[in-house]
Chains A and B, each alone.
Chain A
Amino acid sequence: MATVTTPGISIAPPPTYAPGKSAAAVIWDWMTTVDHKKIGVMYIFLGIIYFIVGGVEALLIRAQLATPNGKVLTPTQYDQVFTMHATTMIFLFIIPVFAGFANYFIPLMIGARDMAFPRLNAFGLWMLLFGGLFLNSSFFLGGAPDAGWFAYAPLTEPAYNPGRSMDFWAAGLTLLGISSIVGSINIIVTTLKMRCPGMRFNTLPLFVWTTLVQNFLLLFALPSLTTAAIFLLFDRHLGTSFFKAENGGDPLLWQHLFWAFGHPEVYILILPVFGIISETLPVFSRKPIFGYIFIAWSSVAIGFLSFVVWVHHMFATGLPDVALAFFASSTTLIAIPTAVKVFNWTATLWGGSIVTKTPLLFSVAFLTMFPIGGLSGVSLAVVPFDWQITDTYYVVAHIHYVFFGGSALGILAALYYWFPKITGRMMSEKLGVWNFWLVFIGLNLTFFPMHMLGLLGMPRRQWTYHEGLGWNLYNFVASIGAFTIAAGILLLIINLVASFRSGERAGADPWDAWTLEWATTSPPPEYNFVKTPVVRSRRPLWDQKHPDDQDWMRGEH
């Protein structure tokens, strides 16, 4: 193993997860830890578990819809499965995995020893665990929530939804909201107040930038959801009528409150990936990110704009044309900062010296798949067209190209990129390539036909469909694709487990990267850095490795 003898890095102390203690002591250690790295690992671990849970739910959906008049699930079973699939993937997979990477890497990337509020950090993790268990326990306690992850009133009112399942939904999401809110406070304060000397805002790694914006979004968007959930609980149990039309309430109030959260939520689910890609693409192209300032500040623009577009989820609800015109304009506007980033990332690759390892494969797949979701999203901003394809499989295609082709591919890139840092071992490149191709092909097989299904009139959230409508082949292909993705994810799990146990030892800096997390051992010691780093540019390790060609000497930050 080549030891990177970058000056300043301590010689490795024993890795943090060393055996030698009793099982009880290890469990106690992990239960009481406030170390951001251990907490980050637990977030990611939980997220991957729930990815599998949500994935099984997806496979059930696709098994049911592979053929017309399918008999795999009954209508009520199907409704529970599709509701929990979305709820699990959003709140229990994507958000926790991002929280995990943020927790692990933000202190490292800014040269700090831990987060600003270590105990609060642990608290957020445990709220996630208990909230997720609480929500999923509903399957065994009278039925899981079954009114969709968006839970439109009045379908969620007691008249149409007796039983406790929607209470599980509202209470469960409140518990998870607490987790996210404390996490976001922690990340914001840490990023603003604990940067090492020399790290100004324009020197922050882009992962830190985008995660900072994301956490502001969480902080300001979640209260809307919590309010809506509490109003729903009141309607269901205290006899209020927030959403009951017959008593002067308004079902549309639910939609406004929900989407005021829901739209920032989708940017919450993609912004960290914008940061991850902005870390991997430069390293694997061997040149800096193209247009750091544009990428950083366009993320801020997206953050602000995301609060004024929510009605585009409600174009068909009969709101006045003037309102629709405003939101069509704001939605069109928000496409611009996103488009700019895609071009910047492409320009990062162009003219580089590209190393096609697995993290790059996933990053490049993101770069080509996310725009498909972005383009279908732009079409949804065209109000009359939206009147035709909203609530059809076209929207399902859109959201999965951005959630899977965007967020999930970004998460996979991050896993392969940072696994060596977290565990001190490399993942198998061979398994990684197989993982990549199965997932990439599966993703397109599953979700591309859904564009057609929507255009051919297939509504979404339907437990079955009829013969003779021309939908059979597309649905069947989509189901094949789903199982292909599953095969790819199975390989991912195998890769993670096998590499953790016996992967090749990674050094401190296996990718020859440039940000501070690579300036300490793999895995880092509990205190991260022996000595707090002092940085002078965005690429402190580049400066160190190229003392005669440091970034700031060329006038770069």
Chain B
Amino acid sequence: MRGSRLKPSTSRRSSLSLILVLALPILLSACTWGGNHSQLNPASEPSHLINRIWWIMFWMSVAIEGLVAGLVVLALIRFRRKAGDPDPVQISGNTRIEIAWTIAPALILVVLLVLTLTTMINVSEPAGDKMRVTVTGHQWWWEFDYQGMNIVTGNEMHIPVNEPVHLDLRSADVIHSFWVPSLQGKRDAIPGHDNTLWISADKPGTYRGECTEFCGPEHANMNFIVVAQPRTEFDAWVKNQQQPAATGQTGLEAEGAQTILTQACAGCHTINGVKGFAGKVGPNLTHIGSRQNIAAGTLDNTPANLARWIRNPQEVKPDNKMPTLGLDDDTINKIVAYLESLK
């Protein structure tokens, strides 16, 4: 036989590869399904439907990959060449089998396509009146403007449980994408376009959302939360949000109310009810004391974190648009006290 290179090698590699190919998916998938930021933890009808398709496709893929990999590994074991083996039968095809394995995947894919199209219809926005929120993506935070309700807030959206909410997605600069995995698929916010999305939660909770279109250096830190509340709690929240900023502070908080007016904050931020505080670059701070996170989900909202943020925003979220103002600790403490009082 020509070709002295064809001496077969010996090793257990075929069985090892079999184990790897089959075990890896099982091993790595048998873990937690994620908290409030995972589509595998659905909390709304659309995401339940999508989650169901996922599992169908997952098991289908396991079966197909298992079949292919299994046959390949089996072939490696069963048909390995040993010294002195004759040439195998020189088959070069079988039209019937090939037609069969063209039609079979085609049928499976047709089923998948039908599932796709029906699900698209089933997750489309329900008709009827609903609350509408204009969502504007900024580099690198989210603005939520409750249409007709005089509420503008940042990075934290409250919605009533079990009621669909219509979102109008806008961008102030580059393309962003609004995604709350537990509640709904994502939709891009594209300058010049008026994309829409709808969300609804079927149980109360806090659901994490992320920007999912690369929008610059701090794309990683452009997170937000959607808080779903029972109707009564939601109404209370609305009422509170519609109030202008809290007044009547005392002590350190009052000093902060004065100090903040002497700093550059008003150039970028708005505090309703405070004269001259109407900047539009950064999030609205009217009720910042009541928010769970700051800096678009980068830090939990605690006095210590807020102080850290104001002291050096560039250290917390490098390249974001809030400059480091070089304030001394005394000033910072006063401002933090004031802001935390804005519940």
Q: Which of B157-165, B183-191, B231-239, B249-257 is the interface stretch?
A: B183-191
Partner of A293, one of B13, B93, B105: B93
Contact B50 A459, beta carbon cutoff 8 Å = no
Q: Which of B28-36, B281-289, B301-309, B331-339 is the interface stretch?
A: B28-36
Q: Bound complex: CA of A433 vs CA of B216, how far in Å?
A: 42
Instruction: Tell yes or no: A548 within 8 A of B by CB.
Output: no
A residues less than 8 Å from B90 (CB atoms): 287-288, 549, 551, 554, 556
Instruction: Tell yes or no: A74 within 8 A of B by CB.
Output: yes
Instruction: Tell yes or no: B218 within 8 A of A by CB.
Output: yes
Nearest CB on B from A273, distance (A):
16
Nearest CB on A from B318, distance (A):
5
* Chain A minimum-CB-distance residue to B69: A368
Nearest CB on A from B134, distance (A):
15
For A342-373 the 0/1 string (1 means CB < 8 A from B) is 11101101111111110001001001100110
Instruction: Tell yes or no: A391 within 8 A of B by CB.
Output: yes
* Chain A minimum-CB-distance residue to B185: A387
Contact A455 B106, beta carbon cutoff 8 Å = no
Instruction: Tell yes or no: A412 within 8 A of B by CB.
Output: no
Given the interface contacts A160-B173, A317-B190, A512-B2, does A287 sit within 8 Å of B34 by beta carbon?
Answer: no
Given the interface contacts A336-B106, A349-B75, A456-B40, does A470 sit within 8 Å of B32 by beta carbon?
Answer: yes
Nearest CB on B from A457, distance (A):
4
Contact B105 A340, beta carbon cutoff 8 Å = yes
Contact B2 A4, beta carbon cutoff 8 Å = yes
Contact A76 B319, beta carbon cutoff 8 Å = yes
Tally of chain B residues near chain A (CB < 8 A): 112
A residues less than 8 Å from B102 (CB atoms): 294, 336, 340
For A275-299 the 0/1 string (1 means CB < 8 A from B) is 0000000000111111111100000
Contact B185 A316, beta carbon cutoff 8 Å = yes
Instruction: Tell yes or no: A324 within 8 A of B by CB.
Output: yes
Contact A287 B35, beta carbon cutoff 8 Å = no
Q: Bound complex: CA of A74 vs CA of B315, how far in Å?
A: 11
Contact A321 B40, beta carbon cutoff 8 Å = no
B residues less than 8 Å from A251 (CB atoms): 175, 190-193
* Chain B minimum-CB-distance residue to A464: B220
Contact A346 B3, beta carbon cutoff 8 Å = no
B residues less than 8 Å from A390 (CB atoms): 186, 212
Nearest CB on B from A159, distance (A):
8
Instruction: Tell yes or no: A154 within 8 A of B by CB.
Output: yes
Q: Count how many pairs of residues, one from A and one from B, have CB atoms less than 8 Å apart in the complex.
A: 340
A residues less than 8 Å from B240 (CB atoms): none
Q: Bound complex: CA of A146 vs CA of B138, how far in Å?
A: 19
Given the interface contacts A251-B190, A388-B181, A459-B212, does A382 sit within 8 Å of B115 by beta carbon?
Answer: yes
Partner of A351, one of B37, B89, B213: B89
Q: Bound complex: CA of A346 vs CA of B220, how far in Å?
A: 42
* Chain A minimum-CB-distance residue to B27: A448
Q: Bound complex: CA of A342 vs CA of B9, how far in Å?
A: 25
Contact A152 B213, beta carbon cutoff 8 Å = yes
Contact B89 A388, beta carbon cutoff 8 Å = no
Nearest CB on B from A275, distance (A):
17
Instruction: Tell yes or no: A198 within 8 A of B by CB.
Output: no
Given the interface contacts A332-B112, A382-B116, A456-B37, does A340 sit within 8 Å of B68 by beta carbon?
Answer: no
Contact A381 B88, beta carbon cutoff 8 Å = no
B residues less than 8 Å from A336 (CB atoms): 102, 105-106, 109
Instruction: Tell yes or no: B123 within 8 A of A by CB.
Output: yes
Nearest CB on B from A424, distance (A):
13
Which residues of B (66-105) have their CB < 8 Å from a CB of A? 68-69, 71-73, 75-76, 79-81, 85-94, 97-98, 101-102, 105
Contact B186 A469, beta carbon cutoff 8 Å = no
Q: Bound complex: CA of A382 vs CA of B236, how far in Å?
A: 40
Q: Bound complex: CA of A548 vs CA of B90, how far in Å?
A: 14
For A526-557 the 0/1 string (1 means CB < 8 A from B) is 00000000000000000001000101001010
Contact A356 B112, beta carbon cutoff 8 Å = no
Which residues of B (1-38) have their CB < 8 Å from a CB of A? 1-6, 8-9, 11, 13-14, 17, 20-21, 24-25, 28-29, 31-35, 37-38
B residues less than 8 Å from A549 (CB atoms): 90
A residues less than 8 Å from B298 (CB atoms): 466
Contact B88 A353, beta carbon cutoff 8 Å = yes
Instruction: Tell yes or no: B174 within 8 A of A by CB.
Output: yes
Contact B88 A378, beta carbon cutoff 8 Å = no
Residues on B close to A: CB < 8 A?
1-6, 8-9, 11, 13-14, 17, 20-21, 24-25, 28-29, 31-35, 37-40, 46-47, 49-50, 53-54, 57, 60-61, 64-65, 68-69, 71-73, 75-76, 79-81, 85-94, 97-98, 101-102, 105-106, 109-110, 112-113, 115-117, 119-120, 123-124, 139, 169, 173-175, 177, 179, 181, 184-188, 190-193, 195-196, 208, 210-221, 223, 297-298, 318-319
Q: Please give me the 3 A-B residue pairs with the lowest Cβ-Cβ distance, nearest first.
A: A387-B185, A512-B3, A245-B192
List 20 A–B pairs whose Cβ atoms lie within 8 Å, in order of A's numbering.
A2-B4, A154-B191, A246-B191, A290-B93, A336-B109, A340-B98, A340-B102, A354-B76, A357-B5, A364-B72, A368-B17, A375-B64, A382-B115, A388-B47, A389-B39, A391-B213, A440-B17, A473-B31, A511-B5, A513-B3
If A287-B92, A292-B92, A332-B112 are given as contacts, then 17 extra A-B residue pairs at C-beta distance below 8 Å, sorted by A number, are A79-B216, A287-B90, A294-B98, A318-B195, A332-B110, A372-B65, A379-B61, A381-B112, A382-B115, A384-B116, A387-B185, A388-B39, A451-B28, A452-B28, A455-B38, A510-B3, A513-B3
Residues on A close to B: CB < 8 A?
2, 4, 74-76, 79, 147-148, 152, 154-155, 159-160, 245-246, 249-252, 285-294, 316-318, 321, 324-325, 328-329, 332-333, 335-336, 339-340, 342-344, 346-347, 349-357, 361, 364, 367-368, 371-372, 375-376, 378-379, 381-392, 426, 429, 433, 437, 440-441, 444, 448-449, 451-452, 455-457, 459-466, 469-470, 473-474, 506, 509-513, 545, 549, 551, 554, 556
